A = this chain, B = another copy of it.
Amino acid sequence: MIPNAEVEYKEALLEVTLLRRQPEMIKIDVGRQLILQVAIWFSLFHFTLCSLRAQEALPSWREGASKKAIIDFVERVTTAGSADFVPPEQRIAVFDNDGTLWSEQPMYVQMAFALDRVKILAEKKPELLDNKMFKAIVTHDREALKQISERDVLELVMETHANMSTAEFDQIVKDWITTAKHPVYKKPYTECVYVPMLELLEYLRAKQFKTFIVSGGGIDFMRPWVETVYGVPPEQVIGSGVKLRYELRGTEPVIMRLPEIDFIDDKSGKPVGIQRHIGRRPILAFGNSDGDYEMLQYTTSGAKTALGVLIHHTDSKREVAYDRESHFGKLNRGLDDAATNGWVVVDMQQDWEQVFSFQR
């Protein structure tokens, strides 16, 4: 597509140049001129869209095997006439959130939110402190907190996030996300997002991909802010969630959040979440932990050309270097099997010119 667009564009420019030199030609037919101009306009437009490639599209990605693999894949599936061409409506790209689009260290952002919530709730309801986990949170009992498993985290989240309407929860998240700051970077969490990944989201959408978030995190914890931060609308967010119930509060209909887990969108839950929400297999998947293994496996085992990408946290200076032994975002199976499975492993330190927007 690009070479053609370039040729068309140059031909059109040539024609304009010729016309400039022969003003008498112009007099002949304004109608013909109009058609020509429209053609030039189209070519320009086309050329602009298509020129969103390597250099221009992903400036924070350093030249190298990772960037090349991603760009090559995207070019292959979006070039009409290519054997691997995929029609736009089937260009589904899925992104994990924690550790793939934004920081998940020193802890999941949603856990920070849950801890803050517990503190606020405990002020109003001191009886909450009868619960050991809540007490450990409020008293900053690090030893007790270390015992909390990922499953505990989810249950904590469910417990502290339920018994209110979805609209109320939405407002609580909005209020928190605009005020809370990352403990290390001292910036709002919504700035602790990876610049190269933001570029990737935009690049893919320009290539007519539909971008989805598929996260182990809470679906309704992400929706209030991902549209602004990632350009992903709420209906393209898949995540873990509590059971919901529609009811009338007087005459006002509300959707209540029940203190019961409905779905955990992690590990083998991710392909299930994808099927429930999207109903077709993605052709491009980005993750960073073993929680994303099945999502990448499902994506890259389909009949269509597909690509799986793991973001490997290798940068101890600009971010945090972690993988196999990490508490949040553990990456073992992914690293072991990436080569066999043909997955791209992005080396954050090597492949990214920039990590966070505030770092230069």
Contacts and interface: CB of A to CB of B under 8 A. Distances in A.
Copies in the complex: 2
A315 interface: no
A272 B241 CA distance: 12
A321 B169 CA distance: 44
B301 A246 contact: no
- Give chain A's interface secondary structure class: helix
A160 interface: no
A118 interface: no
Interface in A247-302: 247, 251-253, 255, 268-272, 275-280, 294, 297-298, 301
Contacts of A270: 246
B41 A37 contact: yes
B34 A30 contact: no
Given A246-B271, A279-B235, A294-B246, A40 B34 contact: yes
B279 A255 contact: no
B89 A227 contact: yes
Interface in A166-187: 166
Contacts of A360: none
Contact of A235 (B20, B38, B210): B210
A210 B280 CA distance: 19
Contact of A253 (B41, B247, B252, B298): B298
What's the interface size class on A, roughly? 35 or more
A230 to B, nearest CB: 13
Interface string A29-41: 0100110011011
Contact of A244 (B37, B241, B253, B272): B272
A260 B232 CA distance: 32
Nearest to A19: B30
A219 B276 CA distance: 8
Contacts of A37: 33-34, 37-38, 41
Interface of A: 16, 19-20, 23, 26-27, 30, 33-34, 37-38, 40-41, 89, 92, 166, 210, 219-220, 223, 227, 233-237, 241, 244-247, 251-253, 255, 268-272, 275-280, 294, 297-298, 301
27 contacts: A16-B30, A20-B30, A27-B27, A33-B33, A34-B37, A34-B40, A37-B37, A37-B38, A37-B41, A41-B41, A219-B279, A220-B279, A234-B278, A234-B279, A235-B277, A235-B280, A237-B279, A241-B276, A245-B268, A245-B272, A246-B268, A246-B271, A252-B301, A253-B294, A253-B297, A255-B271, A255-B272
Contacts of A301: 251-253
A255 B234 contact: no
Contacts of A233: 89
Given A23-B26, A26-B30, A255-B271, 19 more contacts: A20-B30, A26-B26, A26-B33, A34-B37, A38-B41, A89-B227, A92-B235, A166-B275, A223-B279, A234-B279, A235-B236, A235-B279, A235-B280, A246-B294, A247-B268, A251-B301, A253-B294, A253-B297, A255-B298
